[in-house]
Amino acid sequence: MLKYVTLLALPFLLFSCADKNEVNIYSSRHYDTDLELFDKFTEETGIEINLIEGSSDELIERINSEGINSPADVIITVDAGRLWRAKEAGILQPYKSEYLDERVAPELRDDDGYWVGLSQRVRAMIYHKERVNPEDLQGYWELGNEQWADRLCIRSSNNIYNQSLVASLIETHGLEETEEWATNLVANFARSPQGGDTDQVRAVASGLCDVALANHYYLGRLVASSRSADKEVAEQVEIYFPPAEYGGAHVNISGAGIAANSPNRDNALRFLEFLATDEAQKIYSIGNMEFPISDDMELPPVLEMMGEFESDAVNVTSYGRNNPDAIRLMDRVGWR
């Protein structure tokens, strides 16, 4: 049975570290999909899961505070930039798994094997069906062109998804050119950055702007929603993935690594390998509409409807490495 607790106000040594038939998971993902995955893992292996949830920063701080006595076995989070922070904080250890190396493309895992991507999240363009000709859309870079003046909606620079997009562009275009692009992009904002990804989609549907950047699954949730208001929003917009000729689509991940002082390391590795199986990947894609790490898997109808995407093939480790530069750049150009 899954033992589930929230992070706040808990004693550090909450779980036994000696039980070899368990794995202690610290996760910043908060989806019912994940609970289904955990139950499947226990059902198939007999290994019990103890779960602590919190934000990425809370989890990193907690594990650092627990030190060598930390019961953490696996750290799960979203965005490669956050996984990079965990590695830099010294709370991860490298894994060794031929299975994971075969299942997960090199650009979706840490160069040194400290963490591995487990699902793909594409930063897409959401555009209004009637106000935008899709033939006018190109790549992220072209959103800085004058034709998009006062037509763009986007989240704030505090958002890790946007930071990772900018970090990716720094990797491919360099700091100076990316800053010039970001300056032009900010000049094209239809409103001050605000809200989450779903809010950007709603803003496009309502006519506040014509194009927004949002992770693909936020639109997927609106399409699949049982609420008529959500469906009305989804009917007003379409999704666009930049093709390879315009640099390709920015792909981020959710992922995980083994904690540096894991008391149940073998179980931790077994759990990571389970999350990369076809069975687990199907749950990721159906339950949360994330793209699987394997390109040859059958997709649920909503993802199938979105169509295929061509990745920009930028190694996701660069998102963390370039994150400090990205944050400073966004501040300099007035991206609030």
pLDDT in tens, 118-165: 999 999 999 999 999 999 999 999 999 999 999 999 999 999 999 999
pLDDT of residue 197: 97
**Range 256-278 average pLDDT:** 97
State the chain's mean pLDDT as an integer.
93
pLDDT score recorded for residue 9? 37
Give strand ranges (E) for the chain.
3-6, 22-27, 48-53, 74-78, 92-93, 116-128, 152-153, 211-215, 237-240, 250-259
Print burial letters for 149-187: b (CB count within 10 Å at least 16), e (below 16). eebbbbbebebbbbbbbbbbbbbeeeeeebbebbebbbe
User: So where are the chain's domains?
Assistant: 3-120+251-297, 122-250+310-332
Q: What percent of the chain has pLDDT over 90?
A: 88
Q: What is the pLDDT of residues 195-205, one digit of tens each?
A: 999 999 999 99
User: How crowded is residue 227: how many other Cβ atoms within 10 Å of its Cβ?
Assistant: 9
| DSSP one-letter code for 325 | H
User: Residue 261 — pLDDT band, cuts 50, 70, 90?
Assistant: very high
Q: C-alpha 43: how far from its chain's center?
A: 27
Rounded to whole angstroms, how far apart are CA atoms 154 and 215? 11
Q: CA-CA distance, 318 to 298, in Å (whole number)?
A: 29
Range with lowest mean pLDDT among 12-21, 170-179, 233-242: 12-21
This prediction has a pTM of: 0.90
Contact between 144 and 181 (Cβ < 8 Å):
yes
Domain 3-120+251-297 matches domain 122-250+310-332 at the CATH topology level:
yes
Q: Is 308 helix (H, G, I), strand (E, B) or coil?
A: coil
Second CATH level (architecture) for the domain 3-120+251-297: 3-Layer(aba) Sandwich (3.40)
Please compute Rg for the chain using Cα positions: 20
Domain boundaries 122-250+310-332, corresponding CATH code: 3.40.190.10
DSSP at 15: S
Q: Which of 16-25, 50-59, 144-153, 248-257 has the lowest mean pLDDT?
A: 16-25
Whether 265 and 279 have beta carbons less than 8 Å apart is answered as no
| CA end-to-end span of the chain | 44
* pLDDT above 70 as % of the chain: 94
pLDDT at 8 (0 to 100) = 43
| DSSP annotation of 291 | B
- At 2 the pLDDT is 57
Q: How many residues does the chain have?
A: 336
Mean pLDDT of 24-42: 92
For the stretch 51-77, pLDDT in tens is: 999 999 999 999 999 999 999 999 999
SS3 239: strand
